[in-house]
């Protein structure tokens, strides 16, 4: 039995907010010569069989192939149709009949993030060449039957499923989250708000998992101020499913108060466990009810949403 120690840290091109916090603390204590801190961790592997050289080669190969992701679950490599070739990032914003936040998302990606972006009509069947696809908020197909229930059958959703299976980043916001749930790309379901009212106001979110492509610039427990606007945002998953999701780090955001306390009073819609956003097991598909694109510029009164969108860029640039 061989034992190998592997040290894991972020790529140099990826911002390390935890390391920066430690560095600032050390410099505040008078250690001005500390110019950089990178936070990492050791993993100990137990490997059976083979000689020392074979085991060393295997460990090196595993490290090359394994891309550390959400709580030990590797994100699928590549998958965006670029075949590993470097190039500018490319975003796609899907437009369904009834979408009304597509222009907001397009504006933020193009004007705030400065990234190339296209509108993708719901009849499109090919997402080749995109790095991140956004399903925006709105009232797709008038929310008839149930929010997202008709949109999940749009031709583009077959392409979204294929894109996600190859590791492409998919962000569903509000109605986009509802569509991802209906399509089975995320676990759980959405119900009417327990108050039976349309809720449109700012809420506070606590970052539960900062180890996703969407939260890498955040820290665990950080409180974000981002608005909601929905009538069907009451997230539900049965107890066993929710426990499994929490163990895997799939609960990414929870509604909380301004101090980060998760309370019934801070839950705007009755979501089980105050859940505000979840990801799939692989970590590349995220759905959230709050609107980060509406909190990405100071002129709108909040910029916390920009952290999530910039995290996407950091992740894609650091692949």
DSSP 146-176: STTTTGGGSHHHHHHHHHHHTT-EEEEETHH
Ramachandran angles phi, psi of 292, nearest 5°: -65, -30
62 shares a domain with 97: no
Residues in CB range of 66: below 8 A, 6 or more apart = 74
Same domain, 61 and 176: no
Q: What is the pLDDT of residue 14?
A: 46
Closest CA to 217 of 288, 286, 282, 310: 310
Annotated active-site residue 293? The verdict is: yes
What pLDDT, on the 0 to 100 scale, is given for residue 290? 98
Domain termination site, one of 68, 83, 101: 68
User: Residue 138's beta-bridge partner residues?
Assistant: 99
Is 291 catalytic? The answer is yes
CB crowding 280-307: b at 16 or more within 10 Å, else e: bbbbbbbbbbbbbbbbbbeeeebbbbbb
**Residue at 85 is within a domain:** no
By C-alpha distance, which of 285, 167, 288 is closest to 229? 288
User: Is residue 178 domain-shared with residue 221, that is, in the same domain?
Assistant: yes
Domain CATH for 32: 3.30.1280.10
The pLDDT, as a whole number, for residue 42 is 64
Residue 21: give the domain boundaries. Answer: 2-68
Q: What is the pLDDT of residue 64?
A: 66
Q: Of 28, 53, 68, at which residue does a domain stop?
A: 68
> Do 60 and 127 reside in the same domain of the chain?
no
Please count the structural domains in the chain.
2
From 21, 53, 68, give the residue that closes a domain. 68
Kindly state whether residue 148 falls inside one of the protein's structural domains.
yes
Are 191 and 261 contained in the same domain? yes
Judgement on whether residues 242 and 273 belong to the same structural domain of the protein: yes
Residues 103 and 148 in one domain: yes
Is 233 inside any structural domain?
yes
Please indicate, yes or no, if residue 78 is contained in any of the structural domains.
no
Walk along the chain (319 residues) in steps of 10 and give the mean pLDDT of each run: 72 52 69 78 77 80 59 42 60 96 96 95 94 96 90 96 95 98 97 94 96 95 96 95 95 96 96 97 96 95 95 90
pLDDT (0 to 100) of residue 22? 67
Question: CATH no. for residue 194?
Answer: 3.40.50.880
pTM of the model: 0.74
Q: Are residues 97 and 218 in the same domain?
A: yes
Q: Are residues 98 and 151 in the same domain?
A: yes
Together in a domain, 42 and 144: no
Per the annotation, the verdict on 201 as an active-site residue is no
Shared domain check, 160 and 61? no
Residue 307 placed within a domain: yes
| Residue tagged active-site, from 182, 208, 232, 293 | 293
- Catalytic pick among 174, 218, 256, 313: 174
| 182 plus 240 within the same structural domain | yes
Does 235 map to a domain? yes
Does 86 map to a domain? no
In a domain, 80, yes or no: no
**pLDDT at residue number 256:** 97
């Amino acid at each position: 039995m061989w034992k190998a120690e592997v040290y894991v840290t972020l790529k140099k091109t990826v911002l390390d907010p935890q390391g920066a916090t430690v560095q600032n603390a050390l410099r505040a204590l008078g250690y001005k010569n500390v110019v950089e801190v990178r936070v990492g961790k050791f993993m100990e592997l137990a490997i059976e069989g083979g000689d020392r050289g074979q085991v060393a080669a295997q460990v090196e190969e595993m490290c090359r192939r394994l891309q550390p992701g959400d709580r030990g679950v590797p994100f699928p490599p590549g998958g965006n149709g670029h075949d590993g070739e470097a190039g500018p990032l490319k975003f796609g914003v899907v437009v369904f009949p009834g979408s009304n936040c597509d222009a907001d998302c397009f504006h933020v990606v193009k004007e705030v993030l400065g990234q190339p972006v296209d509108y993708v009509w719901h009849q499109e069947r090919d997402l080749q060449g995109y790095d991140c696809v956004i399903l925006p908020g709105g009232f797709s197909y008038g929310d008839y039957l149930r929010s997202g229930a008709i949109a999940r059958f749009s031709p583009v959703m077959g392409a979204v499923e294929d894109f996600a299976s190859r590791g492409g980043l998919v962000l569903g916001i509000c109605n986009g989250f509802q569509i991802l749930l209906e399509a089975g790309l995320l676990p759980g379901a959405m119900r009417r708000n327990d108050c039976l009212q349309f809720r449109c106001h700012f809420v506070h979110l606590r970052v539960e998992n900062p180890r996703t492509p969407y939260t890498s610039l955040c820290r665990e427990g950080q409180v974000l101020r981002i608005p909601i606007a929905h009538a069907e945002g009451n997230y539900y998953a049965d107890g066993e499913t929710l426990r499994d999701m929490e163990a895997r780090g799939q609960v990414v955001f929870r509604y909380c108060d301004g101090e980060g306390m998760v309370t019934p009073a801070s839950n705007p819609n009755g979501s089980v466990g105050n859940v505000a956003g979840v990801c799939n097991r692989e970590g590349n598909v995220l759905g959230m009810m709050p609107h980060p694109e509406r909190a990405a510029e100071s002129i709108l009164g909040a910029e916390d949403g920009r952290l999530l969108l910039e995290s996407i860029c950091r992740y894609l640039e650091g692949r």
